[in-house]
Amino acid sequence: MLQRYLQPDVLAGISGLELVAKTVVDGFLSGLHRSPTFGFSQEFAEYRAYYPGDDLRHVDWNVFARSEKMYLKRYKGETNCQTTFMLDASASMQYGSGPVTKIAYAKYLVAALAYMAVGQRDATGLCVFDDDVRGWVQPSTRQGQLHRILNTLDKATPGKRTSFEKPFVHVREFLHRRGLLVIVSDLWENPETIVKVMEPMRHHGNEVVVFHLLDEQELRPKFKDPVLLEDMESGDTMEVTPQYAATEYKDKITSHCDDMASKLRGAGLDYTLVDTSRPLDEALRGYLAARKGRM
């Protein structure tokens, strides 16, 4: 029953990102019936024989008492991970054929993930960008971090054109320890350029998760009549026929998404395509499934 609260149009009727995030996460978790400790909690994985030099704190002394052999206890997850969210607030994110625009959907998504991350006591940060950094919250575990993130999210308004280079350089300067980097964008750029910009983030030992947000009309455009389209970022106009949009454009955008997925995954980045007309939990579930596979 709570599933319906995760519909984008329902979330659009909820004021306040904190409430949205809480609604999303609680609804999502109650539907998942799974522990939220996806790698961040201590979970037993295996025993390994002790070798000189190993940290004695990990020795299972109960086993040693019974067998007088020293074994080390190993765990699956890491705790206190640093999670940084990067939200694309370019003009194209303002688009939305339904009741919820891409930027609104992205805010819900980031808010929900931040809510979960803060709940895990992760150091959580946020970077809002278009062609430059428009909002920055230093990753931290301090009290009130969630409110700072949500407040920055709330103030984020679509700005100019997208440019990934400058914001990513900025974020890279503040990432001193390896962690999780979550990028939410519509990625209107060549896959090669995207990979070129994001791949260095991976080299620093970070896990990079990319949410590719696209509107249903962008994925499967339906025009009754020939229309004059205006680019929201460049302002260019172009007359488009319904036939072209239904055939060639659809092929091109599908090819673009496939290309983007293969190239990003090939570079070790996690890629998830999100249709903003779909419920938010589908994106979360897809993301967690992908994360689980990698852990």
By CB under 8 A, name the binding residues for another protein: 12, 92-97, 99-102, 104, 154, 186, 188, 215, 218, 224-234, 236-241, 243-245, 248-249, 252-253, 256
* Closest distance to another protein from the beta carbon of 14 (Å): 11
Three-class DSSP category at 273? strand
**Nearest to another protein of 25, 103 (CB atom):** 103
* Closest distance to another protein from the beta carbon of 263 (Å): 16
State the maximum Cα–Cα separation within the chain, in Å, rounded to a whole number: 81
Cβ neighbours around 293 below 10 Å, total: 8
Helix H or strand E encompassing 58 = none
**Nearest to another protein of 123, 245 (CB atom):** 245
* Closest distance to another protein from the beta carbon of 96 (Å): 7
**Nearest to another protein of 43, 230 (CB atom):** 230
Provide the residue type at 203 as one letter: H
* Closest distance to another protein from the beta carbon of 109 (Å): 14
Q: CA nearest 115: which of 198, 251, 196, 20?
A: 20
Supply 287's token pair: 């993301």
Measure the CA–CA gap between 86 and 129, rounded to whole angstroms: 7
* Closest distance to another protein from the beta carbon of 230 (Å): 4
**Nearest to another protein of 70, 273 (CB atom):** 273
Measure the CA–CA gap between 184 and 161, rounded to whole angstroms: 15
**Nearest to another protein of 59, 240 (CB atom):** 240
